[in-house]
Amino acid sequence: MRLLRLCLLLLSLPFALSARPFIVLVYNVENLVDADGKAMFEDYQPARYSRQHVLTKLQNITRVVARFENGRGPDIILFQEIEVDLTPGTTLPDYPAILRRYAGLKIEDMLGAQFSPEIADLPAEGLLLKAMNDAGLTGYTVVAAENIKTPESKGALAQKCVTFTRFPVKGVRSHPTLDARAILEVQLEVDGAAIHVFNNHWKSGASAPETEPARFANGSTLRARIDEILRADPNADLIIGGDFNSQYNQKQRYPKMKATGLNDALGSQGNELAVCGKQRDLYNLWFELPDGERGSDTYQGEWGTLMQLIIARGLYDYRGVQYVDNSFGVAKVGGLNMDDTGMPVRWSFEGAGGAGFSDHFPVYAKFITVPDNRSDRYLLLRNASSETGLASANRVDFSKVDLEKLAVKVAELPAVASLRGGNYTGKILRVEGRVGRGTGLTVEVRGDIYDVWSFDKELRTQLRKEFQADAAVRFYGELSQYKGRWQFIIRDRSWVK
């Protein structure tokens, strides 16, 4: 009880004027691939992925990052899904030298008229650093995880975790883990205080029981290193972020998984006061938000929480770095990386240079340094969470979308306007067309054929019965692409009217 009471204490003195506030952003950028023409994924081969596509991805990532700190960007960024360079040089990349060498060029020139074999050899994170620097997001040190894996791991690693930071780097370690990207640990110094930041991208397949053992191994790798640090200092400052390919309530949401990587192996949990005790030393920041607001990605009409930030007990004391209570959030901006239905605007290859951002919203939290040097006193928490997990999933309620307000009426567009030019992808359209023939459900609109799809199996069956070949139909559909085919997605039964 003594430790619990300490958790409820608040120092009467205000924050010192020297306190250093900063933001940590966690961002899965959905396959940032470089410009060397070499890629492990078919979609990113030169026939489909051009230098203009690279530029669009770089500039769109930069636009999202620039939403923070009045365009300056967060001081710590944990990136996932940055390509492992398939044409590496003989030495490690010198990122400051890259900026110096191309100081007289903009990133659009480097990937355009001034493109050269030397620029083709630059790794994806080097190009991103340059794009951000051009936009005024400067001062970052780049730390990329090593391309290493455990002997038992299957297949080659196509992606890596990369951390951008403005704070002095005091140590770097890459931890190989089963069938996943190496966990990147970066030790930083913030106003003289040491903090360990872990960047993760665990094995994919959040809902699949057959892949959970790999995620359990991923969590065990991370937990072993955390325990090592906490044995030396139980109140060490630790920030753990990334794409865990797990729900924050993985154990409760998927009861067939007897042992989960996130909740069992790692020990992520939702009782905020408990982290000040001896048994539960990690707190998952998803519990800071109301249940209905928990979501950074969607899958088959359900919100997921694969992107996560988890903090250790040391972030609650009055020594070194401290979490700013209730500062956790999801970085979604209408007209930027969020579409009309409130979902992420994911990357698309459409048009000359592609479009979109990522299939994940980034997540972020704020922190501050405190000069008191008191590891025995804890921050007073407002609305401290006591949850241990919820079994339910948040479904996307598409019936509440204001279709009349948001939908683009195709019949009112100029005859020369192309639906496939990039301006309408991710938008809801009022479609008027004629049902196509064949086994798959299609519609002909303005002379082009589009697939018609719904993630609701029952709704797909109803549509197949109601939409007869050659019949005129009207409905609301979200325009997108899937494996190179254009489609309208009908998200809810109310969209057919």
What residues does 300 pair with on adjacent strands?
Answer: none
Q: Is 492 left (phi over 0), alpha (psi -120 to 50) or beta?
A: beta
For residues 186-197, average pLDDT: 97
CA terminus-to-terminus distance, the chain: 60
Burial of 377 (0-12, 13-18, 19+ CB in 10 A): middle
443 within domain boundaries: yes
- 8 Å CB contact between 155 and 204: no
For 63-68, the CB contacts below 8 A with 24+ separation are 63/336, 64/27, 64/331, 64/333, 64/336, 64/337, 64/357, 64/362, 65/25, 65/27, 65/132, 65/137, 66/135, 66/136, 66/137, 67/331, 67/333, 67/336, 68/23, 68/25, 68/331, 68/364
What percent of the chain is predicted at pLDDT more than 90?
80
Amino acid identity for residue 136 in this structure: G
Residues 55 and 85 in one domain: yes
Is the pLDDT confidence value at 47 over 50?
yes
The pLDDT confidence band at residue 276, using thresholds 50, 70 and 90, is: confident
| CATH number of the domain to which 373 belongs | 3.60.10.10
Where is average pLDDT lowest: 5-9, 215-219, 269-273?
Answer: 5-9
What residues does 477 pair with on adjacent strands?
Answer: 429
Residues 363 and 417 in one domain: no
The pLDDT confidence band at residue 388, using thresholds 50, 70 and 90, is: confident
Residues 198 and 109 in one domain: yes
385 within domain boundaries: no
Is the pLDDT confidence value at 90 over 90?
no
Question: What does the alpha-carbon distance between residue 53 and residue 45 come to, in Å, rounded to a whole number?
Answer: 11
371 within domain boundaries: yes
Residues 325 and 246 in one domain: yes
DSSP 161-222: EEEEESSPEEEEEEEEETTEEEEEEEEEEETTEEEEEEEEEPPS-TT-GGGHHHHHHHHHHH
Where is average pLDDT lowest: 224-233, 240-249, 294-303, 445-454?
Answer: 294-303
Nearest 5°: phi and psi at 94?
Answer: -105, 95
Whole-model pTM? 0.88
pLDDT of residue 19: 67
Where is average pLDDT lowest: 175-179, 351-355, 445-449?
Answer: 351-355
Residues 409 and 343 in one domain: no
Residues 239 and 152 in one domain: yes
Cβ neighbour number for residue 412 with a 10 Å cutoff: 8
pLDDT of residue 351: 77
pLDDT of residue 132: 98
DSSP 2-39: HHHHHHT---SSPPPTT--EEEEEEEEEEEE--SSS--
| CATH number of the domain to which 491 belongs | 2.40.50.330
184 within domain boundaries: yes
Question: What does the alpha-carbon distance between residue 262 and residue 250 come to, in Å, rounded to a whole number?
Answer: 7
Number of domains in the chain: 2
Q: Which two tokens stand for residue 112?
A: 């355009």
The pLDDT confidence band at residue 387, using thresholds 50, 70 and 90, is: confident
CA proximity to 213, closest of 267, 161, 255, 265 = 265
pLDDT of residue 424: 87
Is the pLDDT confidence value at 281 over 80?
yes
Question: What does the alpha-carbon distance between residue 240 and residue 202 come to, in Å, rounded to a whole number?
Answer: 13
User: In this structure, are strands 180-190 and 169-177 parallel, antiparallel, or unpaired?
Assistant: antiparallel
Question: What does the alpha-carbon distance between residue 481 and residue 350 come to, in Å, rounded to a whole number?
Answer: 8
For residues 76-91, average pLDDT: 95
More confident residue, 438 or 194: 194
Boundary of a domain, candidates 344, 378, 412: 378
Residues 242 and 341 in one domain: yes
386 within domain boundaries: no
Is the pLDDT confidence value at 179 over 70?
yes
Residues 338 and 220 in one domain: yes
- 8 Å CB contact between 203 and 262: no
329 within domain boundaries: yes
Domain that residue 411 falls in: 398-495
pLDDT of residue 9: 38
pLDDT of residue 161: 98
151 within domain boundaries: yes
Residues 14 and 48 in one domain: yes
